[in-house]
Amino acid sequence: MRAAPTILHLDMDAFYASVEQASKPSLQGKAVIVGGLGPRGVVATASYEARRFGVHSAMPMGQARRLCPNGAYLIPRFSLYRQVSDVVMTMLRELSPLVEPLSLDEAFVDLEAGGVAFDSRTARETGERLRADIRAATGLSGSVGLAGSKMLAKVASEEAKPAGLLLIEPGTERELLAPMSVRTLPGVGPATGEHLRRAGITTVGELAEAGEDELVRMVGRSAGAGLYRMALGLDDRPVVAERDAKSVSVEDTFDVDLHDRVRIRGEVQRLADRCVQRLRGSGHSGRTIVLKVRRYDFSTLTRSETLRGPTDDPAVVREAAARLLEGVDTTGGVRLLGVGVTGLADYTQEDLFAQSLAAEPDGAERADGAAAAAGASGAPGAGGEAAEAGATEAEAEGAAGAREAAQTPGEPESSPERRWTAGSDVRHAVYGPGWVQGSGVGRVTVRFEQPGSEPGRVRTFRVDDPELEPSDPLPLVGEGGSQEEA
């Protein structure tokens, strides 16, 4: 614990939904829900307007639609979110060399290491200036917590939401924490919270009064000791600038269970290519290939194969994933597939044997022969979410990406047919940039507006209109200046 509140925690407010509101003026002040739009999609983020209806992150999208039927339901646009995140993270790194990103919209900053704050006054001034700078650069709001430890800074930013700043003075931690719910503490989820509730412990103050011995008896030595320290406000963890990625993976949840083995193989190949793209984008290679299969009955299997050296060759990853699939029974149907790479390194040592399989006509037969050995090396838990994103992003991206694969093998390329998904960016040869509000029965409805403009007009076109094309997202703030916060 520090004697001054010089650890800052920034959490952007309803980040994905706020970016959508800022980039789509007609949605400002309205309920916006971002996530997978299929029947098995989940909510990635809900705007504060949508939260009033009870919608929250990780909720099934079907339930969200029942609670908030008039909300705007949009696919996530992670390329735009990363652009905005890069702007924010650059600002944080100007404050200090010690910045620890937790996700696209959240990070710890050691202000003392950057020489910008040494006491409560300078810490508060730095936090207020940061919030103003973020608003000017992106049009978005962020909540700031300041304290003498990472845990307390995160608690403070949560209490400051939305668009606020809270500074916890050293020495006041226990008084502040005592009336709060035990769920306030990091790592206390629904199961632990319910276990403590049954024991009559619902607040942090009651947790501290229970004592370390009692908590160890209830939840185990490691968890009990950790809970007791947190209840006292004790946390000595430093801000770590670089955290090594442990894995890179992608996964898709399908709207309808897949039964066709050929289709399943094709999906695994597509996921392997996406995984390698993400792997290369992070500047890594990997040695262990992991396949994740969730079957029709929600049972989840993981299989892994370790190569002789790290690789970022898509052919090598595809072949390893294909071999792993051969060892999995998919007869009853598959609702989710994922491909991941672990054992990351920043160099490659090409797997020549795997490459030779790709070149030889009987490669598939050899791969089939290796399937039993590959399937035997299960690695439960190895196929986690992508290193660059939290679980929410991985799930939403998977649910959205599943719809890209709705085309059956052998169908003409034009048939995913100019599929226009709600929230996606488009450009019309006559009307300019806009976004898709919805589509169906051969028509697509587009609202023509852009960041900083007035709410735009809505027009409807045939789905195959040659003048309507997909487009890249426009930046939130143009060269001309800033825009109002959504």
Q: Which residues are catalytic?
A: 106
C-alpha dihedral (178, 181, 183, 186), degrees to nearest 10: -20
Helix axes 314-326, 352-359, angle to 10 degrees: 80
User: Quick check: 74 and 423 in contact, CB under 8 A?
Assistant: yes
User: Quick check: 203 and 182 in contact, CB under 8 A?
Assistant: yes
Report residue 464 as tokens. Answer: 């195959």
The residue among 53, 9, 366 whose CA lies nearest residue 152 is: 9
Write out the chain in H/E/C secondary structure: CCCCCCEEEEEECCHHHHHHHHHCHHHCCCCEEEECCCCCCEEEEECHHHHCCCCCCCCEHHHHHHHCCCCEEECCCHHHHHHHHHHHHHHHHHHCCCEEEEECCEEEEECCCCCCCCCHHHHHHHHHHHHHHHHHHHCCCEEEEEECCHHHHHHHHHHHCCCCEEECCCCCHHHHHCCCEHHHCCCCCHHHHHHHHHCCCCEHHHHHHHCHHHHHHHHCHHHHHHHHHHHCCCCCCCCCCCCCCCEEEEEEEEEEEECCHHHHHHHHHHHHHHHHHHHHHCCCEEEEEEEEEEECCCCEEEEEEEEEEEECCHHHHHHHHHHHHHCCCCCCCEEEEEEEEEEEECCCCCCHHHHHHHHCCCHHHHHHHHHHHHHHCCCCCCCCCCCCCCHHHHHHHHHHHHHHCCCCCCCCCCCCCCCCCCCCEEEECCCEEEEEEEEECCEEEEEECCCCCCCCEEEEEECCCCCEEECCCCCCCCCCCCCCCC
The residue among 212, 243, 86, 214 whose CA lies nearest residue 150 is: 243
Q: Is the bond preceding residue 162 a cis peptide, omega within 30 degrees?
A: yes
**Residue 127 backbone phi and psi in degrees, to 5:** -65, -45
Looking up tokens 């790290």, which residue turns up?
310
